[in-house]
Amino acid sequence: MGRLDVWLVQNGYFESREKARFAILAGMVQVNGQVASKPAQTLGESDTIAIVGDALRYVSKGGLKLEKAIVTFGLDFTGAVVLDIGASTGGFTDCALRHGAKQVFAVDVGSDQLHPSLQNRPEIVSLEGLHIRDLNAHHLNGNLADIIVIDVSFISLAKVFPYIGSFLTATGYVVGLIKPQFEMGFRRRVKKGIIKDDQVRSEVLERVREYAAENGFELKNHTPTEADGQEKNVEFMALFFRVER
């Protein structure tokens, strides 16, 4: 039957090997009644495979990361207008809606990435092909966001914070994914892009705290996301509030 992760995709359980791998490493896949731990596990013809838990509840694993922040920080998305920066396939958008958001403005520099299940939903305004620095009030139909969620790749959050304040209500807050590998810049060489040093992670968090403060925000709390495998970075979901002036 071949590799477990490949079999799961070929048989329609997951849309990609990445999602299958994530579910396996999260303990959501069983082979012959035993929890599988290796995506490359070889299957025999008589093996039985089962999915346990709610592995498919969001369109991407980003939804699970935002969900952890919502639970850990005790956040309430009920009735909220949400601005999703770096929406991609829509994991954060999907999670926000499932937790009661009434509308999501999904911004991404790419195009044709939003998951098909989200593309025609009336609660979602898709703003693809748009950089945050080019966002204006017209794009949001005059709305301000109660909550801004951020998941950007290959750039630092320092490139995002200068542009978001004008789109957030006075009492609103920001939930952002801190990716240490993209916050280091070129100041350090990181083997294979993987940061394993806790001291370096602490330095990254302090750096984020500093440039958030420079733009009128305070880092209130943070929690690590689950690294799906030894060759993945530990990332952090972080909660930011406006600094009272």
The domains located in the chain, with CATH, are 2-51 (3.10.290.10), 62-242 (3.40.50.150)
How far does the chain reach from its first CA to its final CA, in angstroms? 63
| pLDDT per residue as tens, the chain (245 positions) | 789 999 988 887 777 888 788 788 878 899 999 999 899 999 998 899 988 766 667 888 899 899 999 999 999 999 999 999 999 999 999 999 999 999 999 999 999 999 888 999 999 999 999 999 999 999 999 999 999 999 998 889 989 999 999 999 999 999 999 998 888 764 555 555 667 777 888 888 999 999 999 999 999 999 998 655 555 678 999 999 998 76
198-224 burial: b if 16+ Cβ within 10 Å, else e: eeebebbbebbbebbeebbbebeebee
Distance between CA atoms of 52 and 46, rounded to whole angstroms?
Answer: 19
pLDDT at position 108: 96
pLDDT at position 152: 95
Beta bridge partners of 84: 106, 149
Q: Give per-residue pLDDT as tens, 39-96.
A: 999 999 889 998 876 666 788 889 989 999 999 999 999 999 999 999 999 999 999 9
pLDDT at position 245: 60
pLDDT at position 57: 76
Q: Give per-residue pLDDT as tens, 106-116.
A: 999 999 999 88
Cβ–Cβ under 8 Å, residues 145 and 171: no
Distance between CA atoms of 198 and 163, rounded to whole angstroms?
Answer: 30
- Token digits of residue 153: 């790749």
Contacts 24+ apart (CB under 8 A), 26-30: 26/53, 26/55, 26/226, 26/228, 27/52, 27/53, 28/52, 28/53, 28/55, 29/4, 29/55
